[in-house]
Amino acid sequence: MRTFAEFQIMGRVGKIKTVGSTLRVSIAAEYGRKDDRGDFQANAYWNEVTIFNENVIKWVKDNTLPGDLVHARGTLRQTSWENSSGGTEYGMTLAADDFDNASQDERRRVAKQQEGS
């Protein structure tokens, strides 16, 4: 039996940054709710995904802008390291294997409409 730990995030891109040979993309997932008066309150949670695959890195750099609506999917990896005082720190790496950009389709549609006018 194959076992795995997987994540998927659909949200808006914040920052895109190169870190070593990887690309890190922050994505805001919206968990809105209604308050006591029935008004909708936005509540964004930021997640940073790491992309290791060179082809996916190039595609994201060429086709993704801050604010774009994206879908990232991949594996979870728990990490640990020694901090400056000798203690062990723990973290989680969201390693994105798949990365799709819904906003790119919208930009193409608008560009096509503008060409036709």
Q: Name all domains of the chain by residue range, CATH numbers in brackets.
A: 6-116 (2.40.50.140)
Q: Enter the tokens of residue 51.
A: 């992309």
Confidence of residue 117 (pLDDT cuts 50, 70, 90): low
Q: Enter the tokens of residue 82.
A: 């020694």
Q: Enter the tokens of residue 99.
A: 């990365």
15 Cβ neighbours under 8 A, 6+ residues apart: 24, 25, 26, 66
State the pTM of this model: 0.80
- Tens-place pLDDT, residues 34-63: 888 888 888 889 999 999 999 999 999 999
- Tens-place pLDDT, residues 5-38: 999 999 999 999 999 999 999 999 988 788 888 8
Residue 110, pLDDT > 80, answer no
